[in-house]
Amino acid sequence: MTGEWMGFVAATLTTVSFVPQAMKIIRSKQTQGISLWMYLTFTIGIAFWLAYGLVLMSWPMIIANVVTLLLSLTILSLKLRYG
C-alpha cells in the first residue's frame, strides 16, 4: 500500500466517522450540547488543514478536509442560529 493510498484510507475513515454526529445535529438542530468555541477552533483548524493539503497537492487531505469543512461550517452555523 502506497503512502497516497494510506492517506485516502485515513481521510475516508476520519471523515466518515464525523458524518453521523453531523447528521444528528443537522436533523435535530439541537446544539446545546456542543461548545461554540470548540467548533469555531475546529473549523478554523480544518480550514488550515485544507490549505496545507492544497500546498502539498495531497488529494486525500484536500477531499477529506473539504467534506469535513462543509459539515463543520454547517454545524457551526446551526450552533450560532439555535444556540
Identify the pLDDT of residue 6: 85
Q: Give the CA distances from residue 44 to residues 6, 73, 78, in Å, rounded to whole numbers and listed in that order.
A: 25, 10, 16
38 assigned to some structural domain: yes
Q: What is the CATH number of the domain that holds 78?
A: 1.20.1280.290
Rounded Cα distance, 82 and 16, in Å: 25
14 assigned to some structural domain: no
User: pTM for the whole thing?
Assistant: 0.85
Identify the pLDDT of residue 7: 82
82 assigned to some structural domain: yes
For the chain (83 residues), the mean pLDDT of every run of 10, in chain order, is: 80 88 90 92 95 93 93 92 88
Q: How many domains does the chain have?
A: 1
Helix count and strand count (H, E) for the chain:
3, 0
2 assigned to some structural domain: no
- CA angle, corner 47, sides to 42 and 51, nearest 5? 145
Its domain, for residue 51, covers 34-83
